[in-house]
Structures are given as structure tokens and as C-alpha cells.
Amino acid sequence: MGLVEELMKNNYLITPSAFYLLNQYYGEGFNLGQLIKFAKSRGTFVIDSKLAEDFLSSLGLRVKLPLEDSTISAPETGTEDELDIASSEVTGDLEPQIGEKSSNSQVVLEESVESAFESSKVGGYISTGEPLLSGAEESSDNEIGEEEAMSFEGGSFISTGEVETSDPGDGGGLEPVDEGSFADGETQTRPLDVSNGDSSGYADSGEYYGNGNGVKPKIVYGDYGVPIAYVEEEVPVEEKSYSVYSDLVIKPKEGFSYRARDIKDDWDVVFDVKNVKFEVPKAKNAAGKEGEIIVQVYSKYFKSRLRKMKRIIRENPEVGGIIDIAKLSYVQTDEDVAILGLVNSKRETKKGYMFEIEDGTGTIKVFVNRNNEESKKFFQIMPDSVVAFRGRYSGRNIFFADKIFLPDVPKFKREKPPLEEKVYAILLSDIHVGSNKFCEKAFERFLEWLNGDVNNKKEEELVSRIKYMIIAGDVVDGIGIYPGQYNELEIPDIFDQYEALANLLRNVPEHITMFIGPGNHDAARTALPQPGFYDEYARPLKKLKNAVMISNPAVVRLHGRDFLVAHGRSIEDVVSFIPNRSHHRPAEAMVDLLKLRHLAPTFGEKVPIAPDPEDTLVIESVPDLFQAGHVHVMEYKIYNGVFLINTGTWQAQTEFQKMVNIVPTPARVPIIDVETARLRAVVRFDQFCEGV
């Protein structure tokens, strides 16, 4: 095994100049252990020419240059300028051509370095890798100190060996290289140090040469410490075949008056998942396993759900006192009591319906007779939701329930004080920028409408008072979300999709504050809840001055009215578990979620849920408005004073939607009166949407 390989095996690097100094004595004048011990004493892992010279001197060995025994004769005459040019021409001839790929490229490049050394033996000057400076070419220490430095542990330095051939007498024209490759093949960016005290002012490896064609070569070290020379190839920037709307500029209509500009901002994000501080469970001892931690997290998650739901259900005066399942054995069989728990399972029997619930203290079966009016609620209850039962305990681990209590929302709400002036909010979702089904013309027409290009006085009044916009997820189409999606992508790059969306939304008037949350198509955590967009993708959105990034879910308070904003993916689970529910009637599914006071009750089905130590999907406080999207169908409903709306989409029907029989209602803009949290108007732009 050679010197380079032995050093690499021990995590040491060696420069080419040092290799040629040491290799002639390796195994005869010194061994590997002596060299490593000497390098350790210098506090470095890089063997350079200066260290090699000192090491040989410490052993009493003469520093013998590899070219002293060369049979190649040097010309006796010629100016130094001519010799520099000749040297660069030799090196340039032996370098691989741009774009050339060869299985023996490593051998060729090794020869090129050797030739560079041999060709530098000219006019009585033998190259050691440190160019000789004299007369007008000699640089001062101050000039050298201005070069960029590359520092390693222990103060040793390594050169990547690049020089820029300059005119004679200009001081050498040293050009440091910022790329080097370590022994493991990992390339790192680093500047070159030339302030190591060397009288020549050059870095210690000293292999500087040009290729004679005006292109600066770079030298990096490959997997085996062998220098690999290459010339950078200019990669032409390909023009994109799609538009990211960088040239789309829509200005407010001249003379249009926005009343909303004079209305004072009054908004607050009162709940955002990013602001929730979780206490992640830790292993009890060093022998703890990762799986045990995961079990603890899920345990905390469901205990958090039980705790929050118990507080909600206890607000219902009809429920009364709730006792733990473990304490039912102390209750008389004819005593009427209430219990509460997570629904582990439910099934239908000949005589009625059977549940299995648990509350953290125990598990029990609950039976509801088919003839009981309450049995109808059996179909409204989803697995893993929390419900309460009132009835009698049989003493045989079966509870006979007469009443079923869902968490639900109260039938009556306290009225809130009126606003001094009307202010409106726009609710959107599922824009799907990047899809070739994106209603581009319709969205551009919508932006023009926001900028005052209206049809009549009624629309002018609406637009002038719009102060907020809430977008509930799926703002871009994403990549690889559904089968065959790539064939329906107009913008196949996820970064460009967000850039395109930002270019569109920058045309929204600045006085309109936009709240933007993620959905399952976005660059965000797939599982619910989604804290927000990943920064590296959604950076263009965050640069918009009037944009506020929110989580999924989030609660936005506008002038004292709470807007619960969720993407609505859990509608899929509702459709799966509750009879007579359909994607075409999403508002009904939203009512079911509101009754269960949870945005994704069922765990482990179509909707992934993150194992956070706290359940942040519980609807703890009753909102004034509940907004969702996801299913691409606009529908709204009022339930116990809460306005529920699914805000549709801006995407025409895709091939996948045809397969699953989803008929979207795109390009419809609901305008909400913030004071009443009710629908003020729906403005349609679907006539501009192709494929509708």
C-alpha cells in the first residue's frame, strides 16, 4: 500500500509537492508512524511541502527533489517569460478536454501533474512547487496578507493549486481556488491561505500552472488523494417553457376609492400550531428504547384529547357529574350516572348498538337499545372521538345507556357588539398554482376585480370594503400528490410553483391582509396538524409585505370575530364513516366535525395525524365561522349559530377527480361580512375558467 493510501487510511491528507518529497524515502528513511507522530506534534492532519521538508530535516535526510535525477534536459537559453508560457502549454495539452469522460482519466491527470514538474526545470531553476520571486515580481508581505485565508485545525493549510497566468512582471497573478475535496470525496468551499509566513508568499503545495488557453483550471483531490484537474464548463441557462407570472403586473384602477384603507387594522392570530410548546417525553433510563418513547407520545396525545373533551362536555348542564370507569364498581346498579371516554370501537347488534370506550382509568362496553331515540347518534360517532353516556352500570362490565352526549356546540351564542363600519373578508382555498387545470385567466380576472375593475356600483361597494383574505391550503399543486399528476403539471418545479403564486398574489392591493395556510398539496408536514410551510420552498410568499403565514388549523380573530381555518382533509374520514355523507356536500361533513368538536377525530385512517404530545386538533372554543376546503366544492351552512363554509377551488376537474367522481365548483369568491360572520355575496369568475 502506498504512502497516499496509508495516510488516507489514518485520516491524513498529503499535497502533491509533499508526496514527491517524501515518497523517495518512504519505507527506507522513515516509516508511517514517524510521519504521523511528527504531523501530530504540529497539530495538523495535512502533510504539506513545508512540513515534509521539516520532517526530513529532523531525520537528517537531505531534501532531494524528484527532478534532480531526471534525464530530461532543460534549455540553456530563453527568457523567464518564454519559459512560463512553455510550461503552461505543456500542462494545458495534458489536461482533459471540456466534457470529456474516460475510464482512465485518473491516470492521464496524474501524468499531467508529473509533466508540470518536469517542464518547470528550465534555465537553472528547479520547481519545488514554490515559484521563485525576484526583482519586480517579488511581492511584499502586506500584499500577500490581503489574500483570502483558509484555516484548518492546528494552523496548517492546504492549497488546491490554482494560479492565473498573468503578464510578465505583474507579480505572479495568484488566483486562489475556493473548492477542495477531502479524502472521503466530499467537496467543501474554502478560501486559500497565503499568510503562512513562507518567504515566497505562496501557499505551501505550490502546483500553480496555466493551460495556455485563457481558461483557469481547478485542481481538486479525488477519493484516493490524486489531484484531478478539470476546466469548468459553462452550463447554458435553459429557458423555461412555462410562465411563473413574473411579468404580470395589475395596478389599482385609477380613481378607484378603497374605503378599507381608512378602516383600522384589527386582526390577531389567536391560535397557531407553531406557537404551541410541546414537552416531548424522554426515556426513563439509559435502557429505554425508541419504541417506548413513541408509545409515551401517543399516550400523551390521547390523554390530552380526553382532558380537553371532558372540559367541553362538562359545560353541558344536562350531563351532570361524570365518574371514572374504574369507580363504577362502587356505584349501585339502579343509580343513574354519567361516564365519558374515547370510542375504541362500535358495532351493531340485533337488539341495539354496542360501544367500547376507555377513559384512562379503565375500559367498558356501553349498550344502547335500538328502540331508544338516542340510538340515532350511533351513526354520527366516529372512531376515537370522545362522547359521554348517561345510564346504569350492570355490574358485569356493561353500561346500559339511555342518553348519548356529543361534545357539540351550544345552541345559543352571546351576541358581539356591532362594528362602526362594514368590513369584508374573502375566503379562498385550493388555488393549485402549477396545475395545467389551474384557472389562470379566472384568477387574473379576480385580481383585476380586486384592483377596482368592477362591473357595477354593487361590486364597487364590495371591493372597496374588502380588507382581509384567508387562503385555507393547497395554494400550489405540488409534486407527486396523486397518480398521474406529473402529466397534468404546467409548472413541474415546486420552487417555481411558489414563485408563481407569489407573483400572482403580489397584485393583491397592499391594504388587504392575506392569511395563508398549508394543505396536503403544499410543501409542509404531511400529517395533521401542519405548523406551516417549509421555509426553503415558500420563501417567495413570506416576502410579500401583506401576507401572514398561518398553520393548519389556525384561528384568526378579525374585529373580535373568530374564524376557524382548516384545510379540511378529514372530510375524507367523515365520508368513510358516517352514512349519507358525500364529497359533494362538504358542509354536512363539517357539521359532523363541529358536533364532535374535533378536526380529525379518527386516528390511523385516510388522514395522517402526527404523534404530538398534545392534541391541537380539538375545537376548544366555539368559532363564529368555520372555513375548510380540500374537496373543491363550495357549500355553506349555519349550525347552532356557527357559519360553516367550504370555499371551493381554482382548479378545473382533473383526471383523478373524474375517476373518483368529484365535480369541482371552481373560481367562486365568497365575501364574508366580518361583523356578522355571514356570507355577504358570492362573485363568480368560472366563465373565465377553461374546462368548466
Q: Which pLDDT does position 138 carry in this prediction? A: 40
Helix (H) or strand (E) holding 400: strand 398-405
Does residue 434 form part of some domain? yes
Q: Quick one: 572 and 648 in the same domain?
A: yes
Does residue 273 form part of some domain? no
Does residue 296 form part of some domain? no
- CA dist 207 and 219 (Å) reads 9
Q: Rounded to the nearest 10 degrees, how much is the dihedral formed by the CA atoms of 511, 517, 518, 519?
A: -110
Does residue 338 form part of some domain? yes
Q: Which of 242, 237, 141, 240 is nearest to 194 (CA)?
A: 141
> Phi/psi of residue 499, each to 5°?
-65, -40
Q: Quick one: 225 and 184 in the same domain?
A: yes
Spell out the alpha helix ranges (H) of 279-378.
Answer: 290-313
Does residue 285 form part of some domain? no
Asked if residue 514 lies in contact with residue 504, where contact means CB atoms within 8 angstroms, the answer is no
Q: Helix (H, G, I), strand (E, B), or coil: what is residue 643? A: strand
State how many domains the chain has: 3
Does residue 666 form part of some domain? yes
Which residues, at least 6 apart from 519, have a Cβ–Cβ distance to it below 8 Å?
Answer: 429, 430, 472, 473, 474, 475, 530, 552, 567, 569, 629, 630
- CA dist 261 and 379 (Å) reads 49
C-alpha dihedral sign at 141, 145, 150, 155: positive
Does residue 241 form part of some domain? no
Does residue 298 form part of some domain? no
Q: What is the CA radius of gyration of the chain?
A: 37
Q: Which pLDDT does position 63 carry in this prediction? A: 66
* Ranges of residues in the chain whose predicted pLDDT is under 50: 66-216, 231
Q: Quick one: 97 and 218 in the same domain?
A: yes
Cell 362536555 locates to 313
- Domain stop point among 195, 215, 231: 231
Instruction: Tell me the pLDDT tens digit for each residue of 599-651.
Output: 999 998 999 999 888 999 999 999 999 999 999 999 999 999 999 999 999 99
- Domain stop point among 361, 379, 405: 405
Q: Quick one: 360 and 449 in the same domain?
A: no
Asked if residue 269 lies in contact with residue 532, where contact means CB atoms within 8 angstroms, the answer is no
- Model's pTM, two decimal places? 0.67
Q: Quick one: 149 and 75 in the same domain?
A: yes
Domain assignment of residue 617, given as a range: 422-688
Q: Quick one: 385 and 431 in the same domain?
A: no
Q: Quick one: 398 and 457 in the same domain?
A: no
* Cβ count near 101 (within 10 Å): 6
Helix (H) or strand (E) holding 443: helix 440-450
Q: Quick one: 591 and 670 in the same domain?
A: yes
* Cβ count near 442 (within 10 Å): 23
> Phi/psi of residue 113, each to 5°?
-65, -45
Asked if residue 467 lies in contact with residue 512, where contact means CB atoms within 8 angstroms, the answer is yes
Instruction: Tell me the pLDDT tens digit for each residue of 98-143.
Output: 333 333 333 233 333 333 334 333 333 333 444 434 433 343 343 3
**In the 8-state DSSP scheme, what is residue 634?**
E
